[in-house]
Structure 1
Amino acid sequence: MKFAFLLVIIIIIVSLLGTVLVARNTEENYGNSTKQNVTNLSVIYIVLLLSLLIGVTWYATVIL
């Protein structure tokens, strides 16, 4: 179970860092909308992290 938690957290962190690194390479006019896109993606990653952790916890306690 600890491996599943660790795997979920690692995937989310790597995805979030990748998104931020890609967003740093912007054109001048594109920069304004990029900030909003990064914010939206960050919120999606946080919600995904919480839901995956809840799902793994539920699976580990109910199914196993």
Structure 2
Amino acid sequence: MNIMLALVTLILIFAVVSTVLLTGKSDENYSSSTKRNTMNLTLIYVVIIFLALISLGIYIWLT
């Protein structure tokens, strides 16, 4: 149990440090491509929600 706790703590520390290091690098073109990024993200959400509803319907129909 103590080994697992130490492993989780080590992974957490690594994740925090790597996240902080990566956030220092910014994308200069991000502000110009905000509309495209928002559209892509919206499309991903629509597809995922649609697939989730279909999956839920099939699950309810089969049980």
2:60 corresponds in structure 1 to: 60
Gaps of 5+ in 2: 1-28
- Name which one, 1 or 2, has greater alpha-carbon Rg: 2
User: In the TM superposition, what is the alpha-carbon distance from 1:59 to its structure 2 partner?
Assistant: 0.4
**Where does 1:23-62 land on structure 2 (aligned, <5 Å)?**
30-62=30-62
Structure with bigger RCO (C-alpha 8 Å, 6+ apart) = 1
Please identify runs of 4+ aligned residues in structure 1 that moved more than 2 A.
none
In the alignment, the residues of structure 1 paired with residue 32 and residue 54 of structure 2 have an alpha-carbon distance, to the nearest angstrom, of 34
**Identity between Structure 1 and Structure 2 (%):** 40
Gaps of 5+ in 1: 1-28
